[in-house]
């Protein structure tokens, strides 16, 4: 890849104004250290439709960074182990990602914080939380299927946050669409200009390598057994590529030159403004094109920059420490059943053992147990910098959307709750395990696996679980049984729409046929309706504004 692509990269934080005080050399030195460390960080998420190869790509990136010795595949055979990012038992059994995972590793002098996200639409709320904590996204497309519904939704989530997106067209080792057609689809359906950084030599299903923009030649790939190790790469001159690959090389260079002539070339400023998306071609299962992606992330993805607080004020990376809790997870260590809060460092230097302030409650929080995370594996860390993801264990007091800070108070905007569309009553099968059942429901609610609704009519032993998709119920039932020892029965309810309801209108709605009012555990009163038609019919008899939507700015976790 051409190094010139990054000549105009503006390093976030490096040019930020700082007010130096001659009497405070220690603070100035710390500020400089934080700024320097922040420029070395790249924090990004991998997003895709299910089965586009997201977890395989995540593993391949870790392999190319030499963070692991051997790559696995979700459906690996023989000696190939499961992917490190899919550590959950259900993920390994089904071959899909149902929870996000964090991996931190180094490539030369750069610290990579990679967040693998669930691809399934039923877990889109978890993906949205992860996207709130990254500076860039890698969007993975299947070469045969192109843009799929979940891909479109995830891209819109990135667009809403103005998150720069690098696009990878994966599975080029299998039959697929024409590369020019795929770029046209990106442009037409996403409204963003694709700017290829390389071009495939060989049609989909016969992947030979990619054009090398820097040398004008080609990078040729050679398969390794099962794709478990890094694929061999050989640099060819244009003449050598023409001799070996003939018409395939000629076609690749002609198409790439055509795109360059039409202005579809990388512009760093346009990319950072989320108006263009660099495009690369890969076959992650064969480890083809993965090194090129890793290089693109290092060179093009923005380093951490200032976060905006609830008062719309930016907090520079060199400001006193602040962090944002974007995920809470229990069950990562079955032997201890601990609870881990994933914190994105937003500013300053994090030091293990520091006593921080929790913005939501104003209470102190002790950070004695701080760890870096690599899938399920973890190790104690003593410090972290903006962009890093820190796992805080035994963090019962922390919730998704919480802000932690040191010295100078700050609160970052919370995360919205999605409107659920599926509802089920859960009950313990064994009443003797009622305490474990209630504890499990409480933790699943705090993690955001499901939303929990209760009412006097149903009682605390029969909560209604609300979900974006039905697979969330499967996850909840599996974890209740295997993590908390509380097998549960579930009865689906004939509701399909949820809305908040004002206290004045709640009793009226609760008496209506095809409707029910419950309270979410955070105190929000929620009305369930059989369908949209029924909701509108009831709303027509209520004062205006009685049924505000659930997904709303003022309905944010941690706000």
> What is the pLDDT, as a whole number, of residue 147?
94
Residues 179-205: tens digit of each pLDDT: 999 999 999 999 999 999 999 999 999
511: Cβ–Cβ under 8 A, 6 or more apart, which residues?
none
CB atoms within 10 A of CB 393: 17
504 has pLDDT over 50: yes
- Asked if 532 and 464 count as a contact pair (C-beta separation under 8 A), the reply is no
Query: Can you tell me the distance from the alpha carbon of 439 to that of 385, in angstroms, rounded to the nearest whole number?
Result: 34
Residues 329-383: tens digit of each pLDDT: 876 665 656 788 999 999 999 999 999 999 999 999 999 999 988 866 888 999 9
Query: Can you tell me the distance from the alpha carbon of 279 to that of 282, in angstroms, rounded to the nearest whole number?
Result: 10
How much is the pTM? 0.83
Residues annotated in the binding site, as ranges? Answer: 116-120
286, two tokens:
């064969």
Half-sphere exposure at residue 403, Cβ-oriented, CA atoms within 13 angstroms: 25
- Asked if 397 and 363 count as a contact pair (C-beta separation under 8 A), the reply is yes
Residues annotated in the binding site for GTP, as ranges? Answer: 116-120
> What is the pLDDT, as a whole number, of residue 245?
97
Locate the DSSP E strands across 359-458. 364-366, 370-374, 377-380, 383-384, 389-393, 403-405, 415-416, 422-428, 451-454
Domains and CATH numbers, the chain: 44-98+120-300 (3.40.50.300), 307-414 (2.40.30.10), 417-557 (3.30.70.3280)
Residues 30-72: tens digit of each pLDDT: 788 999 999 999 999 998 888 888 888 988 998 988 887 665 5
> What is the pLDDT, as a whole number, of residue 17?
34
411 has pLDDT over 50: yes
104, two tokens:
């931190």
Q: Quick one: pLDDT band at residue 150, thresholds 50, 70, 90? A: confident
């Amino acid at each position: 890849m051409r190094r010139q692509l990054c000549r105009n990269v503006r390093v976030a934080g490096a040019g930020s104004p700082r007010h130096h005080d001659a009497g405070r050399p220690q603070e100035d030195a710390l500020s400089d250290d934080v700024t320097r460390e922040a420029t070395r960080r790249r924090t990004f998420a991998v997003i895709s439709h299910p089965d586009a190869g997201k977890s395989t790509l995540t593993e391949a990136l870790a392999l190319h960074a030499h963070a692991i010795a051997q790559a696995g595949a979700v459906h690996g055979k023989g000696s190939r182990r499961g992917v490190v990012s899919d550590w959950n038992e259900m993920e390994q059994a089904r071959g899909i990602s149902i929870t996000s995972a964090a991996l931190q590793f180094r490539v030369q002098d750069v610290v990579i914080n990679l967040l693998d996200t669930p691809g399934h639409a039923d877990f889109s709320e978890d993906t949205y939380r992860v996207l709130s904590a990254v500076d860039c996204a890698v969007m993975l497309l299947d070469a045969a299927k192109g843009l799929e519904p979940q891909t479109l939704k995830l891209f819109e989530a990135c667009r809403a946050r103005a998150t720069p997106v690098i696009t990878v067209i994966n599975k080029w080792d299998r039959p697929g669409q024409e590369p020019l057609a795929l770029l046209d689809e990106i442009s037409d359906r996403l409204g963003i200009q694709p700017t290829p950084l390389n071009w495939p030599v060989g049609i989909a299903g016969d992947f030979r390598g990619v054009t090398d923009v820097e040398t004008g030649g080609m990078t040729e790939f050679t398969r390794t057994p099962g794709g478990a190790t890094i694929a061999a790469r050989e640099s060819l001159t244009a003449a050598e590529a023409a001799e070996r690959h003939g018409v395939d090389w000629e076609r690749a260079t002609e198409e790439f030159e055509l795109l360059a002539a039409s202005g579809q070339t990388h512009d760093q400023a346009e990319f950072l403004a989320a108006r263009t998306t660099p495009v690369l071609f890969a076959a992650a299962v064969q480890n083809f094109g993965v090194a090129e992606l890793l290089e693109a992330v290092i060179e093009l993805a923005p380093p951490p920059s200032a976060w905006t607080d609830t008062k719309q004020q930016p907090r520079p990376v060199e400001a006193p420490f602040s962090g944002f809790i974007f995920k809470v997870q229990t069950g990562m260590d079955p032997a201890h059943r601990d609870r881990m809060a994933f914190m994105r460092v937003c500013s300053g230097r994090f030091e293990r053992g520091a006593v921080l302030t929790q913005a939501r409650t104003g209470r102190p929080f002790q950070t004695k147990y701080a760890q870096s995370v690599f899938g399920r594996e973890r190790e104690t860390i003593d410090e972290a910098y903006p962009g890093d993801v820190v796992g805080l264990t035994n963090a019962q007091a922390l919730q998704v959307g919480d802000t932690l800070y040191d010295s100078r108070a700050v609160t970052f905007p919370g995360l919205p709750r999605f409107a659920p569309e599926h509802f089920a009553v859960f009950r313990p099968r064994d009443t003797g395990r009622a305490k474990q059942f209630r504890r499990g429901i409480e933790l699943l609610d705090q993690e955001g696996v499901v939303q929990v609704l209760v009412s006097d009519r149903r009682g605390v032993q029969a909560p209604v679980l609300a979900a974006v998709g039905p697979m969330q119920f499967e996850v909840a039932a599996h974890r209740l049984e295997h993590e908390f020892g509380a097998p549960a029965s579930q009865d689906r309810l004939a509701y399909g729409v949820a809305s908040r309801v004002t206290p004045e209108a709640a009793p009226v709605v609760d008496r209506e046929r095809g409707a029910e009012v419950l309270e979410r555990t955070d105190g929000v009163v929620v009305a369930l309706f059989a369908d949209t038609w029924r909701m509108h019919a009831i709303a027509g008899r209520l004062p205006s504004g009685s049924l505000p939507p659930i997904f709303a700015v003022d309905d944010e976790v941690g706000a």
